[in-house]
């Protein structure tokens, strides 16, 4: 169950109703922290909802739906119980530009020359006063910003009774704001169309047994079981167990929270450590699309370093424009010339174009097989010079097959494999999946499991038929647990020399045997690594927890790999990333497992493979949506292009507006013409940002790609 808004005044009222349409007023829409995007996603996710429109000034929501009483009731219940996460205290909101108001301003401006003076003067002051008031408030609270420039240009025109120019400037300002909102809504909608809920299976408890069912089969009241590295798929109450849970994608809080019996569990949270059982209170689509919308909003809210630099430079030019306008007035006593200068600003085009370029790049990259989580990820990826790979599941396919089952101490092969599979069945690691698959292929009966604990990057400790079974690396079994593994040393050495991975299995305090698994190198690896080197990657490093012989055998012949390190723990990988950063490198880490999360977070850019564990996908800044490393090259190319687009937009804005300023200072441009040319330049740059960002990466084979649904991060 989700926390509900604490405001008591959030009662709703139906102000108009038709058979398939509702108009509802609720005072919570006046809350400055209210997130309309989040609530819109929740509403559109209800079955039967066709469209939702918000009028914040009137505090109204208009909904088109299928007309059924059930859908109507769902709408009313949701709006009476708006989740608390719909309110963000630090969120910046903008009042949507009304298209009817925009049309009124445009018609008024065009008809101004035909109006009698006694009518045009009060009308023009009425139309211009909001802009002037906003400029005065901005000047007093924030200093000389673009709003102050706009207010000065409109004010000067009104003072000299050039009502046509004043109304044209106001109309163009509103038109620019409307086009900005339109472009952002369009790009947001395109992105949201790609971020469909992830199709997955979850563990539930039914009739005393733990069974695996598809996500869509979970119903309200089910007991859902979640363990380390898994995403909580439902909203509900913890019935049993304890866990450390990362809720950053929901609440923005970076520190994990401790959940225990009686606490509320929120869909989309990730279990960092522990195991809990949750009584499902909200399931399926009701828990997913709103979370997707929050992810989208959070990933786009913060501007990248490149965007921030462009914004700062553009903002620094605003006082220059203001000073030139005042200077033109003082030197020439021509208020018309001053108004022409003040209609030109640098920041408008930059601040409009940058987010559009980012969103369109994200959209096209997603179509080509890469989910990039916002402008920060794009910017960091464009600066990466070192690429660090975890071996299993990245350079290799991660589709391991069991090739050797070597029991010791009088255990049979089938018994050894069945015990290992029973212990590993709940674990999402590629090694675990391979063992479980091999047991099923041999039609082995899985022994009953009573308790399981995942020791990240080491292995699994489980109680199978009442006996403690350990499955994991030699380090885990021999060094951490103190079990003698010498009986398998000769066989293990022979298996490693073939480039295979090993799992050690112990029963109680005695080694039960060793399982050998074979993975294969991805066919595209040599070409991708070479292409990445041509894209500016100077150093490629491979990290693995495997034995030295296995690591060397797998990477042999890959000339573009500069370094291989083996027998590593998760903390070792993150330490290596930290060392690279301290040495001046800008590293990206590519991984897919629960044990990769520390390195994914430590790197400047964390990149997760499509089959990665939930914790890895959430930790990563970039998620590859295709099981193909060519998507990695596409991600790098997309990031580089976005950086170039932003720089080109900044150059075009500065160059063209500087020319306009020069002509305005010389008195060669009337204020109305100056305003038209400046806004035409802004629209042109906006169009370039959208079209250039929408272009498919050259290395992508998706230039005729379909709009497909991709996995949620």
DSSP 181-209: HHHHHHHHHHHHHHBPPPP-EEEEEETTE
Structure tokens belonging to residue 544: 């693995």
Structure tokens belonging to residue 213: 């069912």
Distance (Å, whole) CA 624 – CA 545: 22
User: What percentage of the chain's residues is helix, strand, coil (to nearest 5)?
Assistant: 50, 20, 30
Distance (Å, whole) CA 535 – CA 627: 21
List the one residue out of 502, 505, 525 whose CA is nearest residue 431: 502
Count how many residues are written for the chain. 713
Q: What angle do CA 414, 416, 417 make, to 5 degrees?
A: 65
Cα–chain center distance at 261: 31
Cα–chain center distance at 149: 35
522: three-class secondary structure by DSSP: coil
List the one residue out of 286, 383, 239, 364 whose CA is nearest residue 47: 286
303: three-class secondary structure by DSSP: coil
Structure tokens belonging to residue 71: 């859908």
Distance (Å, whole) CA 672 – CA 164: 8
Structure tokens belonging to residue 91: 């969120």
Structure tokens belonging to residue 414: 């089938």
Catalogue the active-site residues.
390
228: three-class secondary structure by DSSP: coil
Tell me how crowded residue 89 is: count the other CB atoms within 10 A of its CB: 7
Distance (Å, whole) CA 245 – CA 620: 17
DSSP 542-609: EE-SS-HHHHHHHHTT-TT--EEE-S--HHHHHHHHHHHHHTT--EEEEE-SGGGHHHHHHSSEEEE-
Q: What angle do CA 140, 142, 143 make, to 5 degrees?
A: 70
* Contact between 629 and 522 (Cβ < 8 Å): yes
Pure H helices in 560-670:
570-582, 597-602, 614-619, 630-665
């Amino acid at each position: 169950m989700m926390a509900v808004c604490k405001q008591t005044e959030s009662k709703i009222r139906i102000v108009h109703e038709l058979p398939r349409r509702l108009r509802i007023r609720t005072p919570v829409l006046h809350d400055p922290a209210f997130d309309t995007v989040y609530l819109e996603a929740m509403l559109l996710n209800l079955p039967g909802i066709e469209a939702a429109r918000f009028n914040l000034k009137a505090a109204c929501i208009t909904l088109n739906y299928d007309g059924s009483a059930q859908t109507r009731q769902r709408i009313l219940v949701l709006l009476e119980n708006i989740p608390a996460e719909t309110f963000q205290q630090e969120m910046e909101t903008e009042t949507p530009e009304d298209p009817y108001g925009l049309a009124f301003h445009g018609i008024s401006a065009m008809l101004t020359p035909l109006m009698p003076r006694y009518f045009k003067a009060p009308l023009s002051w009425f139309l211009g006063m909001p802009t002037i008031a906003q400029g005065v408030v901005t000047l007093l609270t924030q200093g000389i910003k673009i709003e102050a420039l706009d207010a000065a240009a409109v004010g000067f025109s009104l003072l000299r009774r050039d009502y046509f120019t004043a109304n044209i400037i106001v109309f163009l300002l509103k038109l620019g704001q409307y086009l900005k909102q339109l472009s952002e809504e369009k790009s947001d909608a395109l992105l949201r169309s790609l971020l469909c809920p992830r199709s997955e299976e979850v563990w539930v408890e039914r009739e005393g047994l733990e069974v695996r069912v598809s996500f869509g089969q979970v119903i309200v009241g089910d007991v859902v079981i979640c363990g380390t590295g898994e995403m909580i798929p439902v909203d509900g109450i913890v019935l049993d167990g304890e866990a450390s849970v990362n809720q950053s994608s929901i609440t923005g809080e970076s520190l994990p929270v401790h959940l225990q019996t009686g606490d509320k569990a929120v869909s989309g949270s990730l279990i960092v450590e522990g195991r809990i059982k949750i009584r499902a209170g909200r399931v399926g689509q009701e828990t997913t699309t709103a979370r997707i919308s929050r992810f989208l909003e959070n990933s786009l809210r913060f501007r990248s370093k490149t965007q921030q630099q462009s914004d700062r430079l553009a903002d620094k030019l605003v006082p220059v424009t203001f000073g030139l306008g005042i200077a033109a007035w003082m030197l020439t006593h021509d208020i018309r010339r001053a108004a022409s200068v003040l209609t030109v600003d640098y920041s408008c085009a930059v601040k409009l174009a940058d987010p559009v370029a980012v969103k369109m790049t994200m959209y096209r990259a997603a179509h080509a097989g890469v989910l990039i989580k916002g402008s920060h990820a794009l910017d960091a990826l464009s600066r990466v010079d070192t690429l660090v790979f975890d071996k299993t599941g990245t350079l290799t396919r991660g589709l391991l097959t069991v090739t050797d089952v070597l029991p010791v101490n009088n255990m049979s092969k089938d018994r050894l494999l069945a015990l290992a599979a029973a212990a590993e069945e709940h674990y999402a690691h590629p090694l675990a999946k391979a063992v479980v698959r091999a047991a099923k292929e041999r039609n082995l009966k899985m022994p009953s499991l009573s308790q399981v604990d995942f020791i990240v990057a080491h292995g699994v400790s489980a109680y199978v038929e009442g006996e403690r079974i350990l499955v994991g690396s030699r380090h885990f079994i021999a060094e951490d647990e103190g079990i003698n593994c010498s009986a398998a040393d000769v066989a293990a050495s022979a298996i490693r020399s073939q480039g295979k991975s090993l799992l050690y299995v112990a029963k109680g305090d005695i080694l039960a045997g060793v399982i050998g698994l074979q993975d294969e190198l991805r066919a595209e690896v040599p070409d991708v690594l070479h292409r990445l080197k041509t894209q500016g990657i100077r150093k490629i490093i491979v990290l693995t927890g495997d034995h030295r012989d296995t690591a060397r055998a797998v990477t042999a012949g890959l000339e573009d790999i500069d370094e291989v390190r083996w027998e590593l723990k998760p903390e070792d990988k993150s330490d290596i990333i930290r060392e690279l950063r301290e040495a001046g490198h800008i590293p990206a880490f590519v991984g897919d497992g629960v044990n990769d999360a520390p390195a994914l977070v430590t790197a400047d850019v964390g990149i997760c493979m499509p089959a990665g564990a939930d914790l890895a996908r959430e930790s990563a800044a970039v998620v590859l949506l295709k099981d193909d490393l060519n998507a990695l090259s596409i991600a790098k190319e997309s990031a580089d292009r976005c950086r170039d687009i932003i720089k080109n937009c900044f150059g075009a804005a500065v160059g063209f507006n500087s020319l306009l300023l020069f002509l305005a200072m010389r008195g060669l441009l009337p204020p109305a013409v100056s305003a038209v040319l400046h806004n035409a330049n802004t629209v042109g740059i906006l169009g370039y940002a959208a079209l250039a960002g929408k272009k498919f990466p050259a290395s992508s084979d998706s230039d005729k790609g379909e709009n497909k649904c991709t996995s949620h991060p």
